[in-house]
Structure formats: structure tokens, C-alpha cells
Amino acid sequence: MEFTVSQIAAMLGGQVEGDGNAKIRMLAKIQDAKGGQIAFLSNPKYENYIYTTQASAVIVSKDFKPRKAIQSALIVVDNPYSSFTVLLEEYHRMVSFQKSGVEEPSFIGANSSTGQNLYRGAFSYIGNNVKIGDNVKIYPHVYVGDNCVVGNNVILHPNVKLYADSKIGNNCVLHAGVVIGSDGFGFAPQNDGTYKSIPQMGNVVIEDDVVIGANTVIDCATLYGDSTIIRQGVKLDNLIQVAHNVEIGKNTVIAAQSGVSGSTKIGEQCVIAGQVGIAGHLVIANKTSIGAQAGIPKSIKEEGLKLIGYPVFDVKDYFKSYAVFKRLPDLNYRLRELEKKVLGNGVEQPE
């Protein structure tokens, strides 16, 4: 990647002051930047750096009035921070999608097709009857089982595992070690105390714009024709457990290490913190907000509640109760003292 300062200014709709032909190859903080790099100045407390930085260019605000000479080219914009963010995103997109071509050895089975501008890393495995869309990046050690369908603009980071029959929508990112479609935890107890495995025949469907964090696991549905479903725009963090037949609604966000038990249906636009546990066969209303480490044993029917605790209740009430919990030994003492006074000393005291 290499652009001139003028090309970047054009991209940002900004004005160049200084050498518009300087070459930019990388982004950096103003205090660290070197030649060939571009930085930005937004917070006035970093102003001094602009007079000494080795950056080839700095993005500055229209309102910025230099107090000394500046070596770097300037790109003058309305909002330097948001302009820099645009560059970061562009850079990130280019880096994420820069890989292309097929590295060998890699494996592709019978009747499988891949789209345009594919990256297929060494040691990646694609089974039979798989359909892969355009602009898909399949990193090394990825496994795509038979009959999977993967949409366009998808990134499967190293070691993602898609069991057979999984469906992944467009613009999804699955991080390293994600497992999609493993067997649900279903066992029928037998009279002799053993458990018999219930065959898990369904699949997992992941809609568009979903991001899934590293080492998260999503089990397949139990019955043939059923699916565990992750709706459009859902963001799942690392090390999350999603059990069989779960459905997670549009744009719901779940933080690391939370777990959702079988057949639970989570609504849209929910925000679920880390290490939360949600029992099976529940319905969680839209826009529910759940605090860290909470436990949810019952359905939540009202929309927009903020809950915490095990079992969960209202966040504010939880903290009020918890404040008294911390003083329980004192409460207990005061109650005894009162009992002595009212009932006399002869009363039988619980220890």
C-alpha cells in the first residue's frame, strides 16, 4: 500500500499544505510517527509533537494555527480524528482483504465452487458440495465441512471449523478457533444409568454482518431441518457457548464467556455482558440488558429491562439489596439486641 499525500487528501476531502507528492505507507500516532507515515492532531495537548514529528504528513483541523514551522505536509480537514478513523478503516480493510490466491497444499473436495478474489490458505480444507462466495478469505487450517454455504466478503480466520451443512451469510467475520455446528448436548437417560446420545441432525444458520469471537462454539439444531440461528448483525465475543436450537435476534451483542442453553430465543438489540448464563427453553424480550455474571432461569417478557444477579432482577434493586447483604452480620446483631430488649433475655436465640 502506498499513496501520495494528495491522494489521501482527495480521499478525505481535505486541503494539502506542503509536499503533496510525499509517499505514505503507514498510519501512526503523532508522537511515534516516522517518515512515510501519516498521523493526526486533534487534542491540543499533543500540539507540541507536530513541530518535531518525523511523519511525512499530519491531518489537522481547519482551526489549527501553527505557532512554529512544521516539517510535515498537512492535510486540513473539518475533523482530524474522524478523518483518521476513515483512513484506519480503509487501511484495515486493505490489510484484511489483501491476501488472495491459493496457497498449497490445500484441499478442496468434489462439486465445490469458490467465487472471485478468493484467498485459500495453505492447509485449509473444503469438503464436498461446498459453495463459497466472492471476496472470501479462508485462512490456513480452516475446515469447511460438506454442503456448507459461505456468502460474499466473509473472513474465516485461521482454524475456523464449520461442520457439514453450516450456512454463513455475507460480510461475516469468524475468528480463530470458532466451531460452528458441533453436536448439541442431548442425551437420553437409560434405565441402567447410562446416557444414549440423541443424534443431532440440524444445522447452524448465520445471517449477514455477524462477527464471532475466537474459540466461541455454536452447536447445531437437534432435528433434521431445524437450525440454530444467529440473526443479522449479531456480535459475539470470544469463548461463548451457544447451544442447540438457540436463536439470537438481530443486532444483539454478547460479551465473552457467556453461555446460552438449548432452545432459548433471545430477542433483538439485547446487550448481554460477560460470563452470563441463560437457561434453556426461554424467551428473552428485545432490548434486554443483562449485567456481567448474571444468571437467567426464567423468560423475560417485558422489553428494555436492565437486570443482574442470580437469578436476575432489576440492576438498581440488586445493588440496594447487595448493600444490605454486606451489612448482614450487623443486621443480625441488631435484631438479636432488639429481641433481648422486647422478649427478655430468656428468649431462645438462634446462633
Give the interface segment with a copy of itself, choosing from 44-52, 56-64, 69-77, 215-223 (CB under 8 A): 215-223
To a copy of itself, the closest distance from the beta carbon of 274 in angstroms equals 5
- x/- mask, a copy of itself, residues 320-349, rule CB under 8 A, reads xxxxxxxxxxxxx-xx--xx-xxx------
Give the interface segment with a copy of itself, choosing from 14-22, 44-52, 64-72, 209-217 (CB under 8 A): 209-217
List the grid coordinates of 127.
Answer: 469438503
d(Cα 286, Cα 301) in Å, to the nearest integer? Answer: 9
**Catalytic residue selected from 92, 175, 244, 281:** 244
> 221, 203 in Cβ contact below 8 A?
yes
Identified binder of a copy of itself from the candidate list 279, 283, 285, 315, rule CB under 8 A: 279
CA angle 334, 338, 339 (to 5 degrees): 115
Judged by CB under 8 A, the chain residues 158 through 177 that form the site for a copy of itself are: 158-159, 161, 163-164, 173, 175-177
Long-range contacts of 62-70, Cβ-Cβ distance < 8 Å, separation of 24 or more? 70/18
To a copy of itself, the closest distance from the beta carbon of 50 in angstroms equals 17
- Candidates 156, 164, 113, 162; CA nearest to 137 is 156
The type of residue at 326 is K
Q: If you ran DSSP here, which 8-state letter would residue 261 be given?
A: -
With respect to a copy of itself, which residue has the nearer C-beta, 64 or 139?
A: 139
With respect to a copy of itself, which residue has the nearer C-beta, 75 or 212?
A: 212
Q: If you ran DSSP here, which 8-state letter would residue 198 be given?
A: P
List the grid coordinates of 86.
Answer: 476513515
SS3 state of residue 218: strand
Identified binder of a copy of itself from the candidate list 6, 19, 29, 149, rule CB under 8 A: 29
List the grid coordinates of 151.
Answer: 456468502
Q: How far is CA 166 from CA 11, 108, 147, 218, in A?
A: 39, 17, 7, 11
Judged by CB under 8 A, the chain residues 56 through 75 that form the site for a copy of itself are: none
Judged by CB under 8 A, the chain residues 94 through 153 that form the site for a copy of itself are: 95, 103, 105, 107, 121-123, 125, 139-141, 143, 145
- x/- mask, a copy of itself, residues 282-301, rule CB under 8 A, reads ----------xx-x-x----
Identified binder of a copy of itself from the candidate list 225, 302, 344, 345, rule CB under 8 A: 225
Give the interface segment with a copy of itself, choosing from 6-14, 55-63, 70-78, 233-241 (CB under 8 A): 233-241
Identified binder of a copy of itself from the candidate list 63, 110, 194, 345, rule CB under 8 A: 194
Q: How far is CA 131 from CA 102, 149, 169, 180, 225, in A?
A: 16, 5, 12, 16, 19
SS3 state of residue 337: helix
d(Cα 112, Cα 120) in Å, to the nearest integer? Answer: 13
Contact call for residue 82 and a copy of itself (CB under 8 A): no
To a copy of itself, the closest distance from the beta carbon of 339 in angstroms equals 6
To a copy of itself, the closest distance from the beta carbon of 96 in angstroms equals 8
Catalytic annotation present for 281: no
Q: How many CB atoms lie within 10 A of CB 227?
A: 21
**Active-site residue list:** 244
